[in-house]
Structure 1
Amino acid sequence: MARAARTGPWTAVPPQHGRRFVVTGASGGIGLETTRRLVPAGAHVVLAVRDPEKGERVAAPLRASLVGSVEVARLDVADLSSVRAFADAVGPVDVLVNNAGVLGLPFSRTVDGFETQLATNHLGHFALTNLLLPRLTDRVVVVASASHRGGDLDVTDLDWSRRGYRPYAAYAASKLANLLFVAELQRRLTAAGSTLRVTAAHPGYTSTGIQGGTGNAAFTRLAQVGNALLGMPAWQGALPTLYAATMDLPGNSYVGPHRARELNGWPTLVGRSRTASDPDLARELWAASERLTGVAWALGGPG
């Protein structure tokens, strides 16, 4: 495995021959660009997607690769029954990339009764990761966001039943949950004597379709202007995820773009908010996530 070192722009994914990746939300945006770079490097990638027909369409040109390979499997991370079915069927995995996400949605609940942004961005991936842990050989990568810095996570009201719902506050909270999950998962793995590692990444300001799914026409128009003026192309926005997935980084590392405010640039290690490093809040979130999903820590050892 390549050792992490950045002396300039990083774009060269090291060889991944014989390694099996699962990338959630791989039919578009960062997930698709991540897959497009892994396959030519020799990886076998499972595109874990809500819409298998769309997945097959984007997988078709990748199947022409003479180096790596792909397969498509249905996974809706906002539906725990789908998460369990996928986990039961997927087989061994070297690297799990928890990428699927939504941004700024109007209030809604999933089929399991959870607020949709928390369910999609955190709870579904929490469950998937824990279900796959006994079959993982290398690492878990969680795609977070610089928006976590504005997050306020109330573990006693994760479904926004007491507070007035605010779409972007809920998004920031779910992204804060991502980093708390990374920290607590790595703590548990280390305490259990596991060699698995957990890393996180964020894409900075990248031009993808996620900003157009909010249902807010004014925000969509503003995002289109912002994408045109400031947004990195999706292939560049995927580089922090690829760096976190393939380079020799310590557990609980966080990768993002190197320029001011981490809006754009090339992959490098970045910081996080004090709240995202709060071990007590991370433990409380873990306990709440276990209770809500019904999926518990699977590796034994100290919890």
Structure 2
Amino acid sequence: MTTFTAADVPSLTGRTFVVTGANSGIGRAAARVFARRGARVVLAVRNPDKGAEAAATMTGEVEVRRLDLADLASVRSFAEELTEPVDVLVNNAGVMVPPLTRTADGFELQFGTNHLGHFALTNLLLPRIRERVVTVSSTGHRAGEIDFDDLNWERRSYRPMAAYAQSKLANLLFTSELQRRLARAGSPVIAMAAHPGLAATNLMRPEGRPLARIVEKAVAPFAQSDDAGALPTLFAATQDVPGDSYAGPGGFLEGRGAPKLVGRSARARDTAVARRLWDVSAELTQ
């Protein structure tokens, strides 16, 4: 079993990292380490004031830029304004088990934020990315299924956990298809995925949301800290591992512990579904 810790992150001097959702949780914890190890870190956040508060707790070169993944116009503006090369993009931001909500473009909020927003961002930045793309998924992907007949929950009765699982499965399918396309093009860039295990973050934002409060209370006794939950992201972003690797905690049921390469569900390995999801996502975000 690996004994990887934040101390094993090598010097990142001279490299630029973009981390979405870096104002809190594992995104903030990972960004802090990247900056401490010498990287220039762009905190891509929906709320710049909260981003500035996070940046103030970090040492090194840190910049805050606004990015709302639930609004494709914001994604395009962010990509247009970020003209410099990016060494590593960390697709970390996410939302979990909200009531049925629509993005600015009419997508179900979890699918629109967790997958489509990051899909669009990655493809817009890809010509300037030099090393790798890391996308944060979840063990919840194992319960996911891609329903191409109703991706945005317009006909089905809305089930927040099922919608979350679909979005996290989409993250892994996107990573695999991105890696295949990069390899086919002869690109040196690689695509990776990671999951934090059971991490005590504010992802669910439980205020006023009964289901989120229930899930948070169930998870809290077993959850690890933001710093521990960020380790798989740090591992995927900085270690010498193959493209399409998936990093997660090495402990019991991948809930906690030092990171290692972990497996994924059969649905997450379906290349035909991955190709179709890519094509549908490209059409939805064009």
Aligning the two structures, in what range does the TM-score lie when normalised by the shorter sequence? over 0.9
SS state at 2:173 partner:
helix
The residue type equivalent to 1:216 in the other structure is R
Counterpart of 1:149 (choices 139, 142, 150) is: 142
Distance 1:80 1:214, change over 3 A: farther
C-alpha change, 1:222 and 1:79, in structure 2 (3 Å) is closer
Structure-1 residue corresponding to 2:82:
90
Query: What are the within-5 Å matches in structure 2 for residues 137-286 of structure 1?
Result: 137-213=130-206, 215-217=208-210, 219-224=212-217, 226-227=219-220, 229-286=221-278
State the TM-score, normalizing by the size of structure 2: 0.96
Give the drift of 1:218: 5.4
Preserved contact between residue 17 and residue 87 of structure 2 (Cα < 8 Å) = yes
Q: Does the 8 A contact of 1:244 with 1:254 survive in 2?
A: yes
Task: Please give the secondary structure, in 2, of the residue aligned with 1:45.
Answer: strand
Unaligned runs of 5+ in 1: 1-5, 295-303
One of 37, 47, 52 as aligned partner of 1:51: 47
Which amino acid counterpart does residue 150 of structure 1 have in structure 2? A
Deviation at 1:181, TM superposition (A): 0.1
Give the Å deviation of 1:219.
3.9
Contact 1:106 1:215 in 2 (8 A): no
Give yes or no for contact 2:6–2:33 (8 Å, CA) kept in 1: no
Determine helix, strand or coil for the equivalent of 1:105: coil
CA contact (8 A) 2:16 2:41 kept: yes
1:36 CA displacement: 1.0
Give the SS at the match of 1:118: helix
User: In the alignment, residue 249 of structure 2 is paired with which amino acid?
Assistant: P
Q: 2:57 is paired with a residue of what secondary structure? A: helix
Between 197-206 and 8-17, the greater mean CA deviation after superposition: 8-17
TM-score (norm 1): 0.91
The structure-2 alpha-carbon separation of the partners of 1:103 and 1:286, relative to structure 1 and needing over 3 Å to count, comes to same
User: Deviation per CA, 1:186-229, whole angstroms, max 9, x where unpaired?
Assistant: 000111111100000000000011133474335415513531x1
Amino acid at match of 1:103: M
Contact map agreement 1:102 1:213 (CA 8 A) in 2: no
Q: In 1, Cα distance between the equivalents of 2:285 and 2:65?
A: 22
Give the corresponding residue for 1:112.
105
Per-residue CA deviations over 1:44-73 (Å, capped at 9, x if unaligned) read 1000000111111111232xx3xx310000
2:35 counterpart residue number? 39
Identity of aligned residues (%): 55
Q: Structure 1 pair 153/7, CA: closer, same or farther in 2 (3 Å)?
A: closer
State whether residues 105 and 214 of structure 1, in contact with CA within 8 Å, keep that contact through their aligned partners in structure 2. Answer: no
2:5 pairs with 1:10: yes
